[in-house]
A = this chain, B = another copy of it.
Amino acid sequence: MTRTPPPPLGAFPHVARLQTRWMDNDLYGHVNNVVYYSYFDTLIAEFMIHQAGFDPFDAPVVGVAVETGCRFHSSIRYPEQIDAGLRVGRLGTTSVRWEIGIFKAGEPDVAAADGHFVHVFVDRTTQRPVPIPDDLRRIMTTLQR
């Protein structure tokens, strides 16, 4: 199996330091594959909340995950910390493709995992797709490479 090598941390315009938890480790002594998606989820929500003023509790438009994926290159284990990188791939009218890199803190050259997360924005009440609000779109464009 040959794979495109994952990008280094420097390829991601936004970076956040994330903590791991005891429970993240599974029987095999490393962070369970499922938990990486929780890092993705949290990284993206935090970016939208803190950089674009998105309010998950009241916003009339919310992002719904329609596709996610992750490739695992090496393992991470609690109590290690994570540097998570975020950039925006395809930016459509109602959807955005986020791209994420997960790095062991202090090892920015080789990603432990990389993945993507496609959000479709929908009206909170009707759940029908709507254009991405301007303030969110504007901040998303700053993450395009």
Contact = CB atoms under 8 A, between A and B. Distances in A.
B62 A45 contact: no
Q: How large, as a class, is the contact surface on chain A?
A: 35 or more
Task: Give the interface SS of chain A, mostly helix, strand, loop or mixed.
Answer: mixed
B66 A68 contact: no
Interface of A: 1, 18-19, 21-23, 25-29, 32-35, 37-38, 41-42, 45-46, 49-50, 56-57, 62, 64-72, 77-79, 92, 95, 120
A50 B78 CA distance: 12
A1 B64 CA distance: 14
Given A22-B45, A34-B38, 4 more contacts: A1-B95, A25-B26, A28-B64, A33-B65
B22 A41 contact: yes
